[in-house]
């Protein structure tokens, strides 16, 4: 009888093991973020390497580790790592600056470490003086997989500074929550700007570590500089996995819904349509005061730390409520949902004003956001989503082939 129990127990363990392995098979719609371990969380792989070195870190509020989401800088200090300065991107190191807001140099009140701003301060990369007392740089920012999300620009500029000053860059890789998506026109480099610096599609389908390899491999740094990079990859990660971020990546991407809608909805920054800035559900709604044919409405207001002067402030906007939109449909189609742009343009009564607008100096025109002048012209001409997407296919095909060389994950 005891033998039978032993056999049964072994069978249960085997079944559990098989089920565990089955859970690692990636299918659209599966929630598998619990199995993922970010590069930063794997401290055993890089702590010995940092010991005894003077460390500089580019970090923000997404740079967290452990079950309690403790900031990486705070954690490394407690573990005896000598951090000499921290660099902050858009929104600042502690994330208390609004989108596009000037971020000044300061001293971190929690740690006493000097904070060097790389956004809105006139400085886009660490200077030679900044790098003089640093032995190694660390990059740990959560990206969301879009060309116009500025973390990849911060990475490239940091790579440039490291290459110029002969410093190694340690990249603690994190999953791309939109990693399944590769779509949109390839940037026309004539439209290069702060929201589009590289010839990649709107949704690039790369992690930060993979993107760094692409920057080196394609020679995108000035004068074809090469940065000495070391990457701590994400464990148990696949590009087709769903990944729920432990903390919001920026003030206006405050829900998983907004993060997954962002690759499509950010294009509306180049139109008269609000994406909900000035509400507590940005990038989950669309609207304008002149779209009175829609029953859903919202009113943008000034919200400190999110949007002090949002588009259509204190005016009722009518349009689409996408807070409960089935984002699994986006995952399944693996496409930007440009049908919303077509719908909003058709519904808006003053067509000549729809694109003749930019919502902020930082975001720029629809041409810079889309990365091409053709997109605006195609919407105005009444092309269907499929017809527009067909014009992207040659560029996307070439990009996907090039992308294969730099992948760290399936």
The CATH number of whichever domain residue 175 belongs to comes to 3.40.50.12170
Q: What is the pLDDT of residue 94?
A: 58
Following CA atoms 64, 67, 68, 74 in sequence, which dihedral angle do they give, to the nearest 10 degrees? Answer: -40
DSSP 138-150: EEE----SBTTST
* Structural domain includes residue 371: yes
CA distance 273 to 353: 11
Residue 24 has pLDDT above 80, yes or no: no
Return the minimum-mean-pLDDT range out of 9-13, 57-61, 167-171.
Answer: 9-13
- Same-domain status, 261 and 213: no
* Structural domain includes residue 201: yes
* Structural domain includes residue 38: yes
- Same-domain status, 199 and 278: no
Range of the domain at 388: 256-393
- Same-domain status, 227 and 260: no
pLDDT interval class at 7 (50, 70, 90): very low
**Angle at CA of residue 326, ends 320 and 331, nearest 5°:** 120
User: Which percentage of the chain shows pLDDT scores above 70?
Assistant: 85
pLDDT interval class at 88 (50, 70, 90): confident
Mean pLDDT of 288-307: 96
Residue 2 has pLDDT above 80, yes or no: no
Q: What is the pLDDT of residue 104?
A: 59
- Same-domain status, 86 and 225: yes
* Structural domain includes residue 341: yes
- Same-domain status, 61 and 107: yes
Q: Is the model more confident about 357 or about 240? A: 240
Residue that terminates a domain, selected from 200, 232, 264: 232
- Same-domain status, 123 and 262: no
Number of domains in the chain: 2
- Same-domain status, 383 and 291: yes
Mean pLDDT of 164-176: 98
Mean pLDDT of 94-115: 66
- Same-domain status, 326 and 371: yes
- Same-domain status, 47 and 196: yes
* Structural domain includes residue 69: yes
* Structural domain includes residue 151: yes
* Structural domain includes residue 238: no
Residue that terminates a domain, selected from 216, 232, 248: 232
Longest pairwise C-alpha distance within the chain: 83
Q: What pTM, to 2 d.p., does this model score?
A: 0.88
Q: What is the pLDDT of residue 1?
A: 42
Q: Please state, rounded to an integer, the average pLDDT across all residues of the chain.
A: 88
Residue 26 has pLDDT above 50, yes or no: no
If we measure between CA atoms, which residue out of 362, 410, 355, 328 comes closest to residue 150?
362
- Same-domain status, 80 and 187: yes
* Structural domain includes residue 333: yes
Helices (H) and strands (E) counted in the chain, each on its own, are 13, 14
- Same-domain status, 275 and 198: no
What length does the chain have? Answer: 410
pLDDT interval class at 90 (50, 70, 90): low
pLDDT interval class at 30 (50, 70, 90): very low
Residue that terminates a domain, selected from 232, 247, 280: 232
Read off the CATH number of the domain in which 375 is found.
3.90.1150
From the number of C-beta atoms within 10 Å of its C-beta (0-12, 13-18, 19+), residue 17 rates as exposed
Residue 27 has pLDDT above 80, yes or no: no
Contact 85, 114 (CB under 8 A): yes
pLDDT for 261-283, tens place per residue? 999 999 999 999 999 999 999 99
- Same-domain status, 184 and 297: no
Residue 158 has pLDDT above 60, yes or no: yes
Contact 366, 374 (CB under 8 A): no
């Amino acid at each position: 009888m005891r033998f039978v129990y032993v056999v049964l127990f072994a069978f249960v363990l085997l079944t559990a093991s098989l089920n565990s392995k089955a859970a690692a098979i990636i299918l659209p719609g599966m929630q598998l973020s619990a199995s993922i371990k970010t590069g930063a969380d794997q401290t055993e792989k890089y702590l010995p390497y940092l010991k005894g070195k003077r460390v500089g870190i580019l970090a923000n509020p997404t740079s967290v580790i452990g079950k309690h989401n403790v900031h990486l800088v705070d954690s490394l200090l407690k573990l005896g790592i000598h951090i000499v300065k921290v660099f902050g991107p858009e929104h600042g190191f502690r994330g208390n600056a609004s989108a596009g807001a000037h971020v000044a140099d300061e001293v971190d009140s929690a740690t006493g470490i000097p904070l060097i701003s790389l956004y809105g301060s006139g400085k886009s990369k660490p200077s030679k003086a900044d790098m003089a007392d640093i032995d190694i740089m660390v990059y740990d920012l959560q990206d969301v997989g879009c060309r116009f999300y500025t973390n990849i620009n911060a990475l490239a500029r940091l790579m440039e500074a490291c290459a110029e000053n002969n410093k190694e860059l340690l990249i603690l890789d994190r999953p791309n929550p939109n990693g399944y998506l590769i779509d949109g026109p390839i940037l026309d480099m004539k439209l290069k700007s702060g929201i589009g610096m590289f010839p990649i599609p709107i949704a690039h389908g790369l992690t930060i570590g993979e993107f760094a390899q692409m920057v080196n491999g394609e020679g995108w740094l000035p004068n074809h500089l090469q940065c000495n990079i070391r990457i701590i990859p994400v464990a148990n990660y696949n590009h087709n996995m769903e990944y729920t971020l432990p903390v919001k990546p920026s003030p206006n991407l405050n829900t998983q819904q907004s993060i997954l809608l962002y690759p499509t909805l950010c294009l509306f920054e180049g139109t008269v349509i609000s994406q909900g800035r000035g509400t507590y559900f940005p990038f989950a709604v669309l609207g304008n005061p002149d779209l009175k044919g829609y029953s859903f409405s919202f009113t943008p207001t000034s919200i400190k730390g999110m949007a002090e002067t949002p588009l259509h402030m204190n005016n009722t906007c009518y349009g689409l409520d996408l807070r409960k939109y089935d984002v699994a449909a986006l995952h399944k189609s693996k496409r930007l949902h440009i049908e919303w742009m077509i719908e909003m343009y058709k519904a808006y009564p003053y067509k000549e004003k729809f694109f003749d607008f930019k919502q902020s100096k930082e975001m720029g025109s629809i041409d810079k956001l889309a990365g091409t002048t053709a997109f605006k012209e195609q919407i105005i001409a009444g092309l269907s989503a499929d017809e527009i997407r067909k014009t992207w296919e040659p560029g996307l095909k070439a990009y996907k082939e090039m992308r294969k060389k730099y992948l760290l994950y399936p």
